[in-house]
Amino acid sequence: MLRSLIAGIGMYVPEKVITNQQLTQYMDTSDEWIQERTGIKERRYADRTKETTTTMGVEASKIAIERAGITPNDIDFIIFATLSPDYYFPGCGVLLQRAMQMKEIGALDVRNQCSGFIYALSIADQFIKTGMYKNILVVGSEKHSFGLDMSTRGRHVSVIFGDGAGAVVLQPTEVDNRGILSTHLHSDGADAEALAMYNPGTHANHWKEGLADFDESVIADMFVSKEMVSKEQFYPFMDGQAVFKKAVVKFPEVIMEALNKNNSAPADLKLLVPHQANLRISQFVQKKLRLRDDQVYNNIQRYGNTTAASIPIALCEAWQEGKVEKGDLVCLAAFGSGFTWASALLKW
Ligand SMILES: CC(C)(COP(=O)(O)OP(=O)(O)OC[C@H]1O[C@@H](n2cnc3c(N)ncnc32)[C@H](O)[C@@H]1OP(=O)(O)O)[C@@H](O)C(=O)NCCC(=O)NCCS
């Protein structure tokens, strides 16, 4: 049976480290508050002009491609997951294709926020299993630092997020019992506004009143209006407690869905790599599934929440540290804005 195997994995984080203490220059917060509620000690911020979501994705991809033992010319499809694209359109996939001088292959952007990488992996998995592509590059990258509210007003959101990128190359394998065993994707748009960046957008307050201010009499003023800008209505919004409450239910649920599908139990897992949303969420999930410390990988302490990049960054570090070896059962799981949630179970 044809399965998709992670043939190469890479990550890239910007050099600039921003500690919790440094954030106190901009907002009323403290190292103690941030560590206690989120587990985060520091995060990375991209160089403001020299690095973009795409360039970080390129750096991670170069490593993944090299480790897969191929060249950019061998890649036959790109899937790029991000919520912080260089341009509103076109997507980062084509910018990466250009930057890496790849062939005129297909490039798809995925906009599923924190679940983006697993959604992208699942799409790639389907293309591999049908035999359509043989070397798919799956990238997750974020430059959150481009647009966080660094004032005290935005502190509960801004302290959480960081920049970085991760990438994998997926290839087909016929080796028994290796590769992606199954993926599981879910969504519930009931709370779409609970974790969102509303503007710029075409919504014109259709779904919810008061998200954007604009002059209705001015044609074409709704996407980015002067009122929106003057009232600073362009920062991400997060109802932290709503996110927390739903995440601690959906993470264990979607992990168990993957394990049950493959007649496995939490005890069989070598490693769970959860999306690095908040250390408290990961700890809750670990406890609920009765996993040992060595069965769960967390690095949010050093990078914050890097959304679509967090799983490939964490998986890459875990692999580099020898925590994932050939044949190990690994579960990837994510929850985030949408809400969307997802899991993937694989044999490394
Ligand atoms: C964001 C989160 C850490 C906030 O923790 P919380 O316990 O819900 O905190 P609240 O928002 O209720 O705020 C509690 C107090 O801390 C204050 N506070 C918020 N952010 C702060 C910060 N960065 N520094 C210091 N104080 C802060 C609030 O103003 C509030 O003060 P008050 O009691 O005087 O009004 C928490 O809700 C969370 O982790 N949610 C999940 C977020 C997440 O995972 N997002 C990513 C999803 S992929």
Specify the ligand 1 atom closest to the Cα of 29. 24
**244 CB within 6 A, ligand 1:** yes
Ligand 1 pocket test, pick from 28, 37, 83, 238 with the greatest ligand atom count within 8 Å of Cβ, gives 37
pLDDT of residue 83: 97
Integer Rg of the chain from CA: 20
Single-letter amino acid, residue 33: W
- Active-site positions read 114, 275, 305
Specify the ligand 1 atom closest to the Cα of 334. 48
Q: What percent of the chain has pLDDT over 70?
A: 100
Strand partners, 44: 17
CB-based contacts of 155: which residues, under 8 Å, 6+ apart? 23, 27, 28, 29
DSSP 8-state symbol, 262: T
| Cβ atoms 341, 34 nearer than 8 A | no
CA 318 to chain centre: 16
pLDDT of residue 177: 84
**243 CB within 6 A, ligand 1:** yes
Q: How far is the CA of 157 from the centre of ligand 1 (A)?
A: 8
pLDDT of residue 259: 98
Q: How far is the CA of 122 from the centre of ligand 1 (A)?
A: 32
Nearest CA to ligand 1 atom 1: 240
Q: How far is the CA of 20 from the centre of ligand 1 (A)?
A: 15
Single-letter amino acid, residue 168: V
**281 CB within 6 A, ligand 1:** yes
Q: How far apart are CA 228 and CA 237, in angstroms?
A: 14
Q: How far apart are CA 242 and CA 138, in angstroms?
A: 30
**33 CB within 6 A, ligand 1:** yes
Q: How far is the CA of 278 from the centre of ligand 1 (A)?
A: 11
Q: How far apart are CA 340 and CA 118, in angstroms?
A: 11
Which tens digits make up the pLDDT trace of 7-49?
999 999 999 999 999 999 999 999 999 999 999 999 999 999 9
**20 CB within 6 A, ligand 1:** no
Which tens digits make up the pLDDT trace of 225-269?
999 999 999 999 999 999 999 999 999 999 999 999 999 999 999
Specify the ligand 1 atom closest to the Cα of 281. 44
Both tokens of 348, joined, read: 């490394």
pLDDT of residue 139: 98
Q: Which three-class secondary structure string do you get for 145-182?
A: HHCCCCCHHHHHHHCCECCEEEEEEEEEECCCCCEEEE
CB-based contacts of 44: which residues, under 8 Å, 6+ apart? 13, 14, 15, 16, 17, 18, 162, 163, 164, 303, 304
Nearest CA to ligand 1 atom 3: 37
CB-based contacts of 210: which residues, under 8 Å, 6+ apart? none
pLDDT < 70 regions, the chain? none
Task: Quickly count: other Cβ atoms within 10 Å of residue 1's Cβ.
Answer: 8
**241 CB within 6 A, ligand 1:** yes
- Residue 314: name the closest of 11, 58, 8 by CA: 11
pLDDT of residue 1: 84
Specify the ligand 1 atom closest to the Cα of 37. 3
Q: How far is the CA of 37 from the centre of ligand 1 (A)?
A: 7
**7 CB within 6 A, ligand 1:** no
Q: How far is the CA of 133 from the centre of ligand 1 (A)?
A: 44
Specify the ligand 1 atom closest to the Cα of 38. 3
Task: Quickly count: other Cβ atoms within 10 Å of residue 279's Cβ.
Answer: 20
